[in-house]
Amino acid sequence: MDQLCSLREAILTGDASAAASAAGVALAAGVSPVDVIAEGISPAMAEVGRLFEEGEYFVPELLISARATKEVFSILRPLLAEAGAKPAGRVLLATVEGDLHDIGKNLVGAMLEGAGFEVVDLGVDIPASRFVSAVQEARPQIVGLSALLTTTMPAMKTTLEALDAAGLRSEVKVMIGGAPVTQRYADSVGADGYGETATAAVDLARRLIERRNLEESRG
Ligand code: B1M
């Protein structure tokens, strides 16, 4: 999408004000907030990750690109909230304990909001006990766990076990994702689903809500 070229460029160079104005121009030209995320922010951040892996970008570049995406999200969030009338479902979302990566999780949250879900975002470095209390308070239909480090993936299993121990596992569907996570890992820890990308996470959330409604109607 041509209108999103300058947005991707501004995120790559970490220019927050240029990113915000490019997003404004794209929205004014009729690009939907969801497409601004899916075709603008998402590929730009994937490219930032690739440049980092190849040694062209370092931590400061990563952080200023992440800051530029936050600036754009602050413009998109009210528009995404306006779009959905009746919430498609409530998702409790967070990055697991020990893990501070939130760019992918924020993309997933924004795409879910764009698809009409109500998102309760707990943030990063969230211990299993906090997930348990948040499920008791917010009563979501879905819990979404994100992890970017191989060393924090086991916290997904710990979180599932804590939900089980608290008697909450049958009340929520749990979906997991993040760069090192796979379908195989999701199966091995007993998660209800794995989303490879933010778009896949939205499709998965829709399917999980349908499955949950069906199970409820069967008693
Ligand atoms: Co970190 N980091 N990092 N880092 N970092 C990685 C993950 C790493 C692969 C880089 C590398 O070394 N090659 C590596 C992990 C290696 C491993 O575990 N095997 C790594 C490391 C080692 C570290 C530190 C330990 C570095 C250090 O301090 N020595 C440290 C750990 C801090 C901690 O968490 N405790 C660290 C720190 C950081 C920064 C703070 C500098 C920064 C994070 C800033 C932030 O998030 N606010 C950072 C970043 C940016 C990265 C890379 C470069 C990019 C991650 C990213 O944002 N990608 C990353 C390398 C890489 O992935 N190429 C790396 C873009 C984002 C859109 O993609 O997050 O994959 P992603 O999300 C996707 C999908 O995965 C999916 O949807 C998103 C959009 O499509 N998805 C879900 C994500 N969550 C989902 C949840 C779902 C469904 C789908 O359902 C709930």
Confidence of residue 23 (pLDDT cuts 50, 70, 90): very high
More confident residue, 75 or 81: 75
Q: Note whether 120 and 138 are within 8 A (CB).
A: yes
- How far is the centre of ligand 1, averaged over its atoms, from the C-alpha of 105 (Å)? 10
Q: Is the CB of 173 under 6 A from ligand 1?
A: no
Residue bearing the CA closest to ligand 1, atom 53: 49
Residue 73 confidence (pLDDT) above 90: no
Residue bearing the CA closest to ligand 1, atom 69: 104
Q: Is the CB of 54 under 6 A from ligand 1?
A: no
Residues whose CB falls within 8 Å of the CB of residue 44, separated by 6 or more in sequence, listed in order: 7, 8, 11, 12, 65, 69
Alpha helices in the chain (DSSP H): 5-12, 16-28, 33-35, 42-53, 59-83, 103-114, 128-138, 154-165, 183-189, 198-217
pLDDT tens column, 151-209: 999 999 999 999 999 999 999 999 999 999 999 999 999 999 999 988 899 899 999 99
Q: What is the largest CA-CA distance in the chain?
A: 55
Residue 1 confidence (pLDDT) above 70: no
Alpha-carbon span 9 to 7, nearest angstrom: 5
How much is the pLDDT for 86?
Answer: 62
